[in-house]
Structure 1
């Protein structure tokens, strides 16, 4: 299982076997996605930058990091499925938009927002 379509199908089969689709309105999925993002953020609460950078080197913390990232991805897949969004296509289009907003010659090494330069 190495592509988003196959992963989405497996996720929907998991959901449907449990009759959870009834709870998966677009709003509920978006809320759940953000709650999971908050759990990812919570892994870094009160940590120094170097402690956050070290999370992947600790087996238990790395597992928690992987689990939260996976939860976010799974909810994002359900949001995209519900909204009819092809995530690969959307990401490619967004990269094109960002390339136009942030040309290399003006933004290389800069953290400025496109409308601030």
Structure 2
């Protein structure tokens, strides 16, 4: 299998505790620039509460039709949180340039009364 050149940079977590970590930011994949999008929202109101969520999609190649995988954890409400993960829809062009993606799904099942929430929205452009 051939090597695929990847460029990027690593950021130190600046954590002085015992759990030190780094974050890798990929800026190109096989010579093609990549990009990501921010996403955020509020889940449906179920079992007497809702949750907030926010995150950044995984990188995808720029300049071609694409989708992004995403994953995050909701806010801690009603003594629990949920996992959110999925794949965005295809890129939707913006009139002034750029694009966004729509996303929707159902959270993981959690809580004292096991339940899930629906969520949907649009990524940043």
TM-score range, shorter chain: under 0.3
User: What TM-score, normalized to structure 2?
Assistant: 0.22
Q: Normalized per residue, which structure has more helix?
A: 1
